[in-house]
Amino acid sequence: MQKKMAYSFPDEVLEHVFSFIQSDKDRNAVSMVCKSWYDIERWCRRKIFVGNCYAVNPRIVIRRFPEVRSIELKGKPHFADFNLVPDGWGGYVFPWILEMARAYPWLEEIRLKRMVVTDESLELIAKSFKNFKVLVLFSCEGFSTDGLAAIAASCKNLRELDLRDSEVDDLSGHWLSHFPETYTSLVSLNISCLGSDEVSFSALERLVGRCPNLRTLLLNRAVPLDKIANILRRAPQLVEFGTGTYTAELRPDVFSYLAGAFSSCKELRSLSGFWEAVPAYIPAIYSVCSRLTSLNLSFATIQNPDLIKLVSLCPSLQRLLVLDYIEDSGLEALASSCKDLQELRVFPSDPFGVEPNVSLTEQGLVAISWGCPKLESVLYFCRQMSNAALVTIAQNRPNLTRFRLCIIDPKTVDYLTHEPLDVGFGAIVEHCKDLRRLSLSGLLTDRVFDYIGTYAKKLEMLSVAFAGDSDLGLHHVLSGCESLRKLEIRDCPFGDKALLANAAKLETMRSLWMSSCSVSFGACKLLGQKMPRLNVEVIDERGHPDSRPESCPVDKLYIYRSVAGPRVDMPPFVWTKDEDSSLRLS
């Protein structure tokens, strides 16, 4: 009795201590210590992250965490980015907004990724949360500029509006004018995804001019080059800036005005945009290059030598996104001038061309691996690769945490030895012990999965396409990768055996996606029946899977753990173990 009292703090003290613990993982750990800690923690948790919106439902969340101020939700699976998930599959945010409007009147932040957001949802947000501050819609869709107008008009304390990569229906260009003249609290605005006619320049300039705390401004393509200078002059405190279309006829007065505007932005650390960039105007940004830590040229059409010259002027660069116009020679230059580089993404300028249009090979990436000691995140599109190159990269850079290689032609072999690339990727997982994310490509046998299962103990996300020989491959991954959370597979000969043998593993993961593989509907039904805490969704637009022969594989399969049970908003082309459609909306 006495012992207990001596060691127990008043709740307020514990709450205060917990307030220093921000990460979800730590918070979850705290809540598991004992009942009283669970209770205290749940009352003071302010931030919720739901990695799969169907893993739980709003009511459960609200019941456990009554005082939430910030929520992040993710909807569709990652492969939706590549049009593999049919429209109408799901990921609707409205039911969440509806419940939260009632339960969390003091909600300040909503961050959504790959969800369907309607204008009605946006209007409800605008109406319901008086202290609303942050709205991030990452790769979302389903809303129009009308919804944005509602947000602009009502959210007096809005600090951040970020629409990155979302699909917005452009109905009217005047939504920006809905920010009242008294509104001055904007800190971050990302409208880079908006289509052509959607922004009124004068409204934009006025908005920028009256928001002294504006740090991030990412414009859309509609903003022409000659308007940039005026905007920059009104916001010299910007840290992150995205241009619009960066092309114009070269006029010395426009150029020098622009260059002057850039040079007055002493805090500028990150640049992006540069759609259709012309070399003539690139020197306008030279004055800020030495301070740049992040540069996104992945929409810029400039090529070498202009491109090489530009990156060579940015020694502080930590993050570079670029098209393969940079070529091996440019990457070699990058390797010698940017020693702080942590993240590199090289996108293909002509992914569907038959012949390579640039001289970008595995050599560029090898050069980077030699020259950039801090490199930890790579996304690289190329057309040839060798095991030797991958081994070199792995040995040079054991600190890699994210490695995504996309060799453009499926099943491409090692161009030197004509062998599969198993050994190369094997070296990656063996040497890079902290690897959290890996995407494979090229010709790969079951062997590579054996390596992955053996070595990739910290791997959380694996993407596989056109690889493997048999169920053994899938089995290696599911049985060996202890930290695996997300597995996405397409066009691989993986079938029922490995899936059913590792059913229990699936409950330890967030989700599994398999499309164009060899899994039968029977196995899916069985899995769904045996594992009640898994939702097994067969996505098949060809009609009911039972209308095809038993051996015909399902088209797409999405399995995820859930405490919310089967979802109630499934479209007609999603099939589950439940034969009758009484669970569907009617």
Partner 1 sequence: MSKPIEHDYIGLSEPQLPSMEKSSDTNNKKNALHLKATELRLGLPGSESPEWDDHDHNVLSLKTFVSGAKRGFSDALDGGGKWVFSGGSGGGSEGLFSPRSSGNNNGGKGLSGSDSGLGGPVLKDGATQKPVVVQEKKPQAASGAGHGNGNIAPASKAQVVGWPPIRSFRKNTMASHPPKKDDDAEAKLGSGCLYVKVRMDGAPYLRKVDLKIYGSYKELSSALEKMFSCFTIGQCGSHGAPSRDGLSESRLIDLLHGSEYVLTYEDKDGDWMLVGDVPWEMFTDSCKRLRIMKSSEAIGLAPRAMEKCKNCT
Could you say which residues in the range 53-82 bind partner 1, by CB under 8 A?
79, 81-82
Q: Which of 298, 318, 399, 502 binds partner 1 (CB under 8 A)?
A: 298
Nearest-approach distance from CB 267 to partner 1, in angstroms: 28
Q: Among 44-52, 88-96, 177-185, 283-291, which window interacts with partner 1 (CB under 8 A)?
A: 88-96
* Interhelix angle 422-431/446-455, nearest 10 degrees: 0
Q: Which is nearer to partner 1, 162 or 414 (CB)?
A: 414
Q: Which of 158, 311, 372, 517 binds partner 1 (CB under 8 A)?
A: 517
DSSP secondary structure of 506-563: HTTSSEEEEESSB-BHHHHHHHHHH-TTEEEEEE-TTS-GGGS-TTSBPSEEEEEE-S
Nearest-approach distance from CB 83 to partner 1, in angstroms: 5
Q: Among 20-28, 62-70, 262-270, 345-353, which window interacts with partner 1 (CB under 8 A)?
A: 345-353
Q: Among 199-207, 285-293, 311-319, 487-495, which window interacts with partner 1 (CB under 8 A)?
A: 487-495
Q: Which is nearer to partner 1, 90 or 371 (CB)?
A: 90
Contact criterion met (CB below 8 Å) for 67 and 42:
no
- Residue 347's Cβ-count burial label (10 Å; 0-12, 13-18, 19+) is middle
Site membership for partner 1, residue 140 (CB under 8 A): no
Binding mask 306-325 for partner 1 (x = CB under 8 A): -------------------x
Site membership for partner 1, residue 571 (CB under 8 A): yes
Q: Which of 90, 173, 371, 426 binds partner 1 (CB under 8 A)?
A: 90
Q: Among 30-38, 59-67, 342-350, 388-396, which window interacts with partner 1 (CB under 8 A)?
A: 342-350
Q: 210 to 239, contacts with partner 1 by CB under 8 A?
A: none
Q: Which residue has the tokens 């939430």?
A: 68
Distance between CA atoms of 221 and 239, rounded to whole angstroms? 20
At residue 277, φ and ψ (nearest 5 deg) are -55, 140
Site membership for partner 1, residue 1 (CB under 8 A): no
Q: 396 to 455, contacts with partner 1 by CB under 8 A?
A: 406, 408-415, 418-420, 439, 443
- Is it true that the peptide bond before 305 is cis, omega within 30 degrees of 0? yes
Q: 455 to 484, contacts with partner 1 by CB under 8 A?
A: 463, 465-466, 469-471
Q: Which of 165, 306, 340, 507 binds partner 1 (CB under 8 A)?
A: 165
Site membership for partner 1, residue 578 (CB under 8 A): no
Nearest-approach distance from CB 391 to partner 1, in angstroms: 18
> Which residues lie below 8 Å from residue 24, measured CB to CB, with a gap of 6+?
47, 48, 49
Rg (C-alpha) for the chain, rounded Å, is 26
Site membership for partner 1, residue 573 (CB under 8 A): yes
Token readout for 306 is 């202009």
Long-range contacts of 6-12, Cβ-Cβ distance < 8 Å, separation of 24 or more:
8/36, 11/36, 11/40
Task: Tell me the residue type at 188.
Answer: S
At residue 501, φ and ψ (nearest 5 deg) are -70, -25
Instruction: Report how far apart the first and last C-alpha atoms of the chain are (Å, whole number).
Output: 59
Q: Among 53-61, 364-372, 387-395, 541-549, which window interacts with partner 1 (CB under 8 A)?
A: 541-549
Query: Which residues are paired to 553 by β-bridges?
Result: 520
Q: Which is nearer to partner 1, 23 or 581 (CB)?
A: 581
Question: Residue 366 in 3-state DSSP?
Answer: helix
Angle at 284 between CA 283 and CA 288, to 5 degrees: 95
Site membership for partner 1, residue 264 (CB under 8 A): no
Q: Which of 87, 249, 482, 579 binds partner 1 (CB under 8 A)?
A: 87
DSSP secondary structure of 215-258: -EEE--TTS-HHHHHHHHHH-TT-SEEE-SB------HHHHHHH
Site membership for partner 1, residue 297 (CB under 8 A): no
Q: Among 45-53, 63-71, 135-143, 427-435, which window interacts with partner 1 (CB under 8 A)?
A: 135-143
Q: Which of 553, 560, 562, 577 binds partner 1 (CB under 8 A)?
A: 553
